[in-house]
Amino acid sequence: MSDPPAQLIVVDDDPINRRLLASYLEREGHAVATANDGRAGWELVRSRPFDVVLLDVLMPEMDGYQVLERIRGDEDLRHLPVIMISSVEDMQSVVRCIELGADDYLPKPFNPVLLRARIAAGLSRKRLHDLEREYLEQVEHVVTAASAVEAGTFAPDALDGVAGRDDALGTLARVFSHMAAEVQARERALKRQVQELRIEIDRTRADRQVEEITGTDAFRDLQRRAAELRSR
């Protein structure tokens, strides 16, 4: 099964450039959204997940620098790969974009080979980041599950999502779930035992033992002497 298409967004106020770029990327097999100025682009980026942003520098409403700044300042979006595309070729603009956190910079008109390579690099960075984030989230699940075990609130299916992994973390989650389930089962069994705790004494047998001990002359002698010693 092939991977789902990458979700790209092209933000450019020039309709010809926008269409050209979008149709090229679609032919490359990507799903492409477009926005015709910086503000619309920012709104779209915030509204749903993308894998790579292609961002023009000079635009009305909000320029590419501002959009880039907002993306880098946003907790959820700061790792999103951004490739700046502009006809502005001066070095100062390139430096500013890199300083603001752009991953790459491509001049217009775009070179298809270079663009393909840049997109591929951006996508692999994004996938790596997504994997890392997912890994950390799942590690967090395991940590939360450990606290739940301690607090006695562990749900048996709590780690199902992590246990499906085929790496070491998946093994850890499977073993952990298994052990937690065993501990819970043992505790349940013990609790049942507590409820069943009855002090059952066979009175006849106990009385017989008491009689065996106290019915002897030696015991009566001891009893008498103990009483005597106490009364002194």
Partner 1 sequence: MSRVVAVHSFRGGTGKSNTTANVAVMAARRGLRVGVVDTDIQSPGIHVLFGIDQATIGRTLNDHLWGRCAITEAAVDVTAGLDPTLEGRVFLVPSSIDAGDIARVMHDGYDVALLHEGIRTLVDELRLDLLLLDTHPGLNEETLLSIAVSDTVVVVLRPDQQDYEGTSVTVSVARRLQVPHMLLVVNKTPAVFDHADVEERVRAAYDCEVAAVLPHSDDLMAYSSQGVFSLSRPDHPVAAMYDALAARIVG
Distance CA 187, CA 181 (A): 10
Please give the residues from 157 up to 196 whose contact with partner 1 meets the rule CB under 8 A. 187, 190-191, 194
Nearer to partner 1 among residue 46 and residue 225 (C-beta): 225
Radius of gyration of the chain (CA): 37
* Site membership for partner 1, residue 147 (CB under 8 A): no
Cβ distance 63 to 38 under 8 Å?
yes
First-residue to last-residue Cα distance in the chain:
99
Phi then psi for residue 4, to 5 deg, are -65, 155
* Site membership for partner 1, residue 227 (CB under 8 A): yes
CB of residue 214 vs partner 1: minimum separation in angstroms? Answer: 5
Give the binding range for partner 1 (CB under 8 A) out of 35-43, 119-127, 157-165, 200-208. Answer: 200-208
CB of residue 227 vs partner 1: minimum separation in angstroms? Answer: 6
Give the binding range for partner 1 (CB under 8 A) out of 61-69, 89-97, 123-131, 209-217. Answer: 209-217
Nearer to partner 1 among residue 168 and residue 227 (C-beta): 227
* Site membership for partner 1, residue 209 (CB under 8 A): yes
Nearer to partner 1 among residue 112 and residue 219 (C-beta): 219
Distance CA 112, CA 11 (A): 18
* Site membership for partner 1, residue 214 (CB under 8 A): yes
The tally of CA atoms less than 13 A away on the side-chain side of residue 208 is: 5
CB of residue 82 vs partner 1: minimum separation in angstroms? Answer: 56
CB of residue 197 vs partner 1: minimum separation in angstroms? Answer: 7
* Site membership for partner 1, residue 78 (CB under 8 A): no
Strand order in the sheet with 104-107: 31-35, 7-11, 52-56, 82-86, 104-107
Distance CA 133, CA 158 (A): 19
Distance CA 81, CA 119 (A): 9
Distance CA 150, CA 161 (A): 21
* Site membership for partner 1, residue 229 (CB under 8 A): yes
Where along the sequence are the contacts to partner 1 (CB under 8 A)? 187, 190-191, 194, 197-203, 205-207, 209-210, 213-214, 218-219, 222-223, 225-227, 229-230
